């Protein structure tokens, strides 16, 4: 039998007292000699909180508060009890999701995808958040209820056929399944799922190779000599050639550039796509040609002392 190395309890935070006498309720976790607290969006007066912790009795609102507190405590204990080597990070990933673990032996897919999407938005990784959301919609359209324990090669291949029939490309299918695979692998590392049978080992995930569209010298020359009509075309041309002159820089990377990225004739940056990955982040250095410097001088955002261009990638996320 697994030795319990944690305790869970409710805590009334007197430091967050409101004018009406209520304060937030937190769940206190003591895990491996480390203590931390998690907000659960419950508020009550100190008297109601104490009454709620009693075994029985109290007003209707106090009994409802008791049920909510015990529900969160049960969820925390269930998560910690299921994980062989729980950590604060792995616990929070599951606890902050809407997974109803206390009442199920299986781990639901969609709440964990939503939790990851919300974290991506909080981290301002909006492109990743959008991809997870699209993957969520696609999988939910195929299977209304889905658990990680039910994933197998048959399900994944059926999903691929379903997407093919809807006209989706191999690349799109691969992107959606990789999001599912990432969460699955994290649950295996956290000990929530066993690694005895990896369903993704049975299925090929990836897109078909396509020829890369290129612009030939005569086409680039025509674009360079093109006379834009209006500010939008003018900026589009400048942004395109700036990325081209900076070794094919990604547009999102260009939109994130700040003046501090420039040192003399060298522009240094870390790709947005890889800055949050576990592998070593590579600093890319680009020599600024005179034409690139001219574009910077022309497009420099006069109203923003930080950003190099009048486009800031965080503003590209739709409401």
What span, in angstroms and rounded, lies between the C-alpha atoms of 154 and 230? 54
**In this predicted structure, what is the pLDDT of residue 206?**
66
**In this predicted structure, what is the pLDDT of residue 29?**
93
What's the CA angle centered on 198, arms 197 and 200, to 5 degrees?
Answer: 150
Question: What is the chain's length?
Answer: 319
Sheet architecture: strand order including 283-287: 262-263, 266-270, 283-287
Task: Describe the crossing of helices 231-245 and 290-299 by its angle, rounded to 10 degrees.
Answer: 140
Name the residue with tokens 């990836």. Answer: 206
CA distances from 82 to 131, 164, 221 (A): 29, 37, 63
CA distances from 139 to 156, 159, 188, 266, 282 (A): 10, 8, 20, 45, 34
Residue 176 and residue 132 in contact, taking contact as beta carbons nearer than 8 Å? no
**In this predicted structure, what is the pLDDT of residue 4?**
65
What span, in angstroms and rounded, lies between the C-alpha atoms of 119 and 252? 19
Residue 45 and residue 60 in contact, taking contact as beta carbons nearer than 8 Å? no
Helix (H) or strand (E) holding 42: strand 34-45
**In this predicted structure, what is the pLDDT of residue 139?**
94
In DSSP terms, 7 is beta-bridged to: 30
Q: Where are the domains of the chain?
A: 6-96, 109-190, 217-301
Kindly provide the b/e burial profile for residues 249-282, where b requires at least 16 CB atoms within 10 angstroms of the residue's own CB: beeebbbbbeeeebeeeebebebbeeeeeeeeee
Task: Report the SS3 class of residue 40.
Answer: strand
What span, in angstroms and rounded, lies between the C-alpha atoms of 22 and 47? 9
**In this predicted structure, what is the pLDDT of residue 98?**
60
CA distances from 53 to 11, 17, 47 (A): 10, 19, 10
**In this predicted structure, what is the pLDDT of residue 280?**
59
Helix (H) or strand (E) holding 266: strand 266-270
As given in the structure block, the two tokens for residue 264 are 């003399």
**In this predicted structure, what is the pLDDT of residue 111?**
84
Residue 254 and residue 238 in contact, taking contact as beta carbons nearer than 8 Å? no
**In this predicted structure, what is the pLDDT of residue 34?**
87
**Which residues touch 140 (CB under 8 Å, ≥6 apart)?**
110, 146
User: pLDDT 10s per residue in the chain (319 long)?
Assistant: 455 678 999 999 999 899 999 999 999 999 888 899 998 889 999 999 998 888 777 888 999 999 999 999 988 888 888 777 788 887 887 787 765 554 456 788 888 888 888 888 887 788 888 999 999 999 999 999 999 888 988 999 999 999 999 999 888 999 999 999 999 998 888 777 776 778 888 788 765 555 567 888 899 999 999 999 988 899 899 999 999 999 888 888 888 888 888 999 999 988 877 766 555 578 889 999 999 998 888 877 544 556 676 665 444 433 3
- The alpha carbon of residue 140 and the mean position of all alpha carbons in its chain are separated, in whole angstroms, by 18
Q: List the one residue out of 96, 113, 102, 104 whose CA is nearest residue 79.
A: 102
What span, in angstroms and rounded, lies between the C-alpha atoms of 243 and 269? 13
Considering the entire predicted model, what is its pTM?
0.58
């Amino acid at each position: 039998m697994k030795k319990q190395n944690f305790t869970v309890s409710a805590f009334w935070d007197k430091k967050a007292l409101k004018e009406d006498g209520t304060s937030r309720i937190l769940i206190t976790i003591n895990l491996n000699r480390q203590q931390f607290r998690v907000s659960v969006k419950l508020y009550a007066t100190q008297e109601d909180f104490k009454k709620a912790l009693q075994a029985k009795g109290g007003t209707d609102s106090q009994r409802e508060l008791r049920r909510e507190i015990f529900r969160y405590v049960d969820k925390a204990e269930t998560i910690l009890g299921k994980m062989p080597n729980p950590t604060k990070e792995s616990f929070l990933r599951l606890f902050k999701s809407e997974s109803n673990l206390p009442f199920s032996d299986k781990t639901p897919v969609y709440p964990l995808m939503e939790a990851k999407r919300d974290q991506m938005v909080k981290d301002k990784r909006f492109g990743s958040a959008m991809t997870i959301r699209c993957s969520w919609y696609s999988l939910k359209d195929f299977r209304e209820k889905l658990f990680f324990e039910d994933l197998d090669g048959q399900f994944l291949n059926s999903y691929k056929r379903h997407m093919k029939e809807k006209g989706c490309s191999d690349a799109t299918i691969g992107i959606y399944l990789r999001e599912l695979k990432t969460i699955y692998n994290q649950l295996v590392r956290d000990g929530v799922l066993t690694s005895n049978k990896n369903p993704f080992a049975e299925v090929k995930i990836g897109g078909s190779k396509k020829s890369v569209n290129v612009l030939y010298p005569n086409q680039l020359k025509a674009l360079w000599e093109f006379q834009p009509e209006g500010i939008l075309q003018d900026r589009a041309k400048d942004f395109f050639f700036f990325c081209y002159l900076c070794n094919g820089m990604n547009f999102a990377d260009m939109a994130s550039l700040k003046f501090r990225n420039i040192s003399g004739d060298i522009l240094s940056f870390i790709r947005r796509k890889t800055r949050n990955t576990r592998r070593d982040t590579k600093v890319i250095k680009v020599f600024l040609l005179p034409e690139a410097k001219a574009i910077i001088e022309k497009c420099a955002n006069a109203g923003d002392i930080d950003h190099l261009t009048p486009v800031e990638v965080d503003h590209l996320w739709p409401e």
